């Protein structure tokens, strides 16, 4: 893995032998985009997910890394599966 850039640890290998670098996911931005795509306020999304508005805000702003349980709540509230968050 020494040939990988420091900024990305994710690498995809294609069937044709080509290797593609994958940029790291910004989970907070992804959650925000999903929420806004539904036309929900932070308060509405937090209520749907069963979490505090402040917690959701911190996740969206990258100030907090969610636990797996929080990810399950978020996914359920957004009506998607956990893998779809990523």
What is the rounded CA–CA span in Å between residue 60 and residue 62?
Answer: 6
CATH H superfamily, domain 26-85: lambda repressor-like DNA-binding domains (1.10.260.40)
Q: Domain limits of the chain?
A: 26-85
Tens of pLDDT, residue by residue over 29-40, are 999 999 999 999
Question: Per residue in 46-72, is it b (16+ CB within 10 Å) or e — as a string?
Answer: bebbebeeebbbebbeeeeebeeebbe
Read off the tokens for 38: 């539904």
Tens of pLDDT, residue by residue over 30-78, are 999 999 999 999 999 999 999 999 999 999 999 999 999 999 999 999 9
**Would the pTM of this model clear 0.85, i.e. be above it?**
no
């Amino acid at each position: 893995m020494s040939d990988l850039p420091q900024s990305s640890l994710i690498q995809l290998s294609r069937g044709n032998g080509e290797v593609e670098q994958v940029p790291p996911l910004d989970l907070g931005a992804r959650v925000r985009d999903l929420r806004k795509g539904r036309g929900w306020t932070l308060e509405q999304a937090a209520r749907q997910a069963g979490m505090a508005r402040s917690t959701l805000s911190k996740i969206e702003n990258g100030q907090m890394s969610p636990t797996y349980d929080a990810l399950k709540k978020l996914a359920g509230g957004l009506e998607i599966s956990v893998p779809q968050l990523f």
